[in-house]
Structure 1
């Protein structure tokens, strides 16, 4: 898994963050050139997906696009930002990481279904059970909303978003997308996938005239803990294979 490491050779982390960006694109959570992932690698150091001279979008991210910078966006190392620019919304990543010592990775994406569901007044709720156990538990704990449809481009707006997020793993950004935070890049991406899945199901159910109902407490109590090896490890290998297949088709 991609977790923070001693500041030094970050070659593997760069490659794995790039792969995670491709997963976001393959899942339709970050279509086009928008969206980014960061990973804490030091007290004031992160690896973050940047935009370079051969930008083609998240689905074509390579390790070269993952750059080492401070939380304020300054290059860490000679030539680190030559030809590259940090995301406009770098403060979004920085303030989550500053506020949350439990967080190592931050994902920001623009899933259309998540945006549509929120604008329709549909909350992310535990409407499923064994269909997606981690997602059900995440939804049961609550998914807050930052109610401003703005580009989170400065510390003031980032602090507003972080306050709305609180201690939760995911916050929706109205008319914008979502921010997911976790102890690893894989977990942060998989959380975003789960929220997107629930949003899609919610839109389908309500469009069909159905009513959204939370999973009963007795069913929630029956959901087993399948362990990180299955819920993260196996799930992540699937996502990588899925993204690789999508990239081959695109080429």
Structure 2
């Protein structure tokens, strides 16, 4: 993999910063918690770091996205001046070390996902066309790392990755989730889908209902709408939703 130059990294920093704001806007990471990373070559990654004017995930700027190596050292001169990588950087780097299929890692603290897991509710394919990618993800299983620890070193990160296996998302008991994918957009959208399923599951159980998986024959009827729709259109929606605009001229809201 060719090492990118600084000009090539600029749009990637902007992408990750926007993704951090999407996570916060969706309520998946409150306050100063949560981070997103993206592999840029064999030894380096861009990751959301904390700087001297830290304001939290929802206010992430491109300047907060810094280049580090797999050991947390600066990936280029000056990259960590005034900034520090997240304490849980090993959560990202261990996934990247062991999963060549993964380029981006998202770590978030969605309350509904944590609550559902603590209540003994698994993430299951309880819906169909409501969220086709989420249903397919859940049908493959969402494993749980059963320790509510800060994943601050490679030993703990290895335990988490062992629990995760080859799956795209793992729940961290009493903590949050880790979502891994080939792109930043896909990793964030996976986290949103898992959060939506957890929220629906809690509502069903609270209403006295019983959770049931979508029948196999219905699952077989769900079409693959393709990456352009599942990721491309969905991601543009998330950015527009965050910005609160339909286009450059018309704000979202009731017409007057």
TM-score bin, normalised by smaller chain? over 0.9
Q: Spell out, residue by residue over 1:153-180, the C-alpha distance to the aligned partner (whole angstroms, 9 max, x if none).
A: 0000000000000000000000000000
- The 1-side partners of 2:213 and 2:2 are apart by 39
Q: Which residue of 2 aligns with 1:117?
A: 116
Q: Secondary structure at the match of 1:64?
A: helix
* Structure 1: runs of 5 or more not aligned: none
- The 2-side partners of 1:159 and 1:6 are apart by 26
- The 2-side partners of 1:107 and 1:119 are apart by 21
Q: Spell out, residue by residue over 1:26-60, the C-alpha distance to the aligned partner (whole angstroms, 9 max, x if none).
A: 00001110000000001000000000111111110
Find runs of 4+ consecutive structure 1 residues off by over 4 angstroms: none
* Structure 2: runs of 5 or more not aligned: 246-250
- The 2-side partners of 1:5 and 1:207 are apart by 52
Question: Mapping of 1:1-251 within 5 angstroms?
Answer: 6-8=3-5, 9=7, 10-245=9-244
Q: Secondary structure at the match of 1:123?
A: coil
- The 2-side partners of 1:19 and 1:156 are apart by 31
The total of aligned residue pairs comes to 245
Give, in angstroms, the shift of residue 76 of structure 1.
1.6
TM norm structure 2: 0.94
RMSD: 1.5
- The 1-side partners of 2:242 and 2:116 are apart by 25
Q: Considering Cα pairs closer than 8 Å and 6+ residues apart, tell me whether 1 or 2 has the greater RCO.
A: 1
- The 2-side partners of 1:187 and 1:220 are apart by 21
Do the aligned partners of residues 129 and 238 (structure 1) sit closer, same or farther apart at CA in structure 2, a change above 3 Å counting?
A: same
Q: Secondary structure at the match of 1:131?
A: coil
Answer with 1 or 2: which has the greater Rg. 2
- The 2-side partners of 1:159 and 1:243 are apart by 34
